[in-house]
Amino acid sequence: MRTERFSNFELLRLFSIFLIQTMHIIGPIHNHPDMSFMNIQIESLVNIIGNTGVTCFVLLSGWFGIKRDIGKFFNLLIVSIVYSMLTAACLSGGDIKSILMSAWGILCYKNWFIGCYFVLMFIAPWLNESVDKGDRDSIRKLLATLIIAIGLIPTLTHAPNGSVVFWHGKCIAWIVTLYLTGRYLRRYHPDGPSTATAAKMMLTPMGFLFLFRFSVSLLPARFSGLRDYLSGDSSPLIMLEAIGIFYMFKSLNIKSGTINYMAKSVFPIYLMGGAIALLDKHIYHISDNSGSMMLSLLIVADAATIMLAATVIDKTYYLLFGTLQQRMVMQMTRLYEKAKTLTAPLIRKF
């Protein structure tokens, strides 16, 4: 039975990956001494909007719910290894050690988001049950506690390692919080606010954060580090902004086979984001254009190039190796089921 794909949400997935790529593109020139005043404000906008990318993606996962499917897990694992190795091959010029280490990095959860998503795929059914069978008051108290402890406190204190959140939201604790929020919204606010209200939810924190960062940019250079204050991954303001974006996309009435087809490649697009360094070196030279009036266009062009190239590569890969990959997934699933059967008596005794 095929699952219906909603083009408005698939478009949001593509938009989220695009935002993530823009963040990665502008990252190397953060606080660059040659940044013009205008480009400092452009960087602020990229940061404020781009940081909603992961949040929107996980909210979507929570909204639809992740079912425990070991086949999908192994499929994502293979995809992660293949595209990480491909990216490493491009960046290293084919250095075997770098290519092998990139694969090992995926197995060791070196990529924080993919690592968190692997864990989320296993624990999601329990998270689904906690929301679907829980009462509304208890769930709201749980979410409030998580958002305050894992989001608000580390954001306000600007803790070096995010306190209980490693790197301000780049960890499973905040991913779980976002996932539960998505489940809560699906159960208790399926229709959501009006489009106008959703736009206000997005624009109000966005405007506040931009004014804050703009004010900091007027201060001496030694205060430039304060611009990141309040707009990290675990910021409740970013979370509110993302919820507004989510409901704005939900209100769209779109049916597009092209969007659905492209959205199937979001993980390869994310995984090949490392190619940004290659594009920067040979084509767009973002690092050399921190003072250029063309910076914003270069960022958009860079992100669009990665998305288009990664999509073409992914579709070609599946055309050539899709059948082989599915056979590998089936074999890995059989081995997993056998191992689970053998260890079941031990688990029951434990």
| Tokens 């704005």 belong to residue | 248
pLDDT the model gives residue 291: 86
In whole angstroms, what is the distance from residue 56 CA to residue 12 CA? Answer: 8
Number of helices followed by number of strands (H, E) in the chain? 15, 0
Check pLDDT > 50 for residue 348: yes
pLDDT in tens, 48-100: 999 999 999 999 999 999 998 999 999 999 999 999 999 888 888 888 888 88
pLDDT in tens, 249-292: 999 999 999 999 999 999 999 998 888 878 887 888 888 888 88
**Are 159 and 151 spatial neighbours (Cβ–Cβ below 8 Å)?**
no
Q: Which of 75, 71, 76, 155 is closest to 114 using CA atoms? A: 76
Q: What is the dihedral of CA 71, 75, 78, 84, to 10 degrees?
A: -140
Tell me the whole-structure pTM to 2 decimals: 0.91
Q: Which of 280, 254, 274 is closest to 14 using CA atoms? A: 254
Give the pLDDT band of residue 156 (cuts 50, 70, 90). Answer: confident
Helix pair angle (136-146, 172-188), 10° resolution: 150
7 burial via Cβ count (<10 Å: 0-12, 13-18, 19+): middle
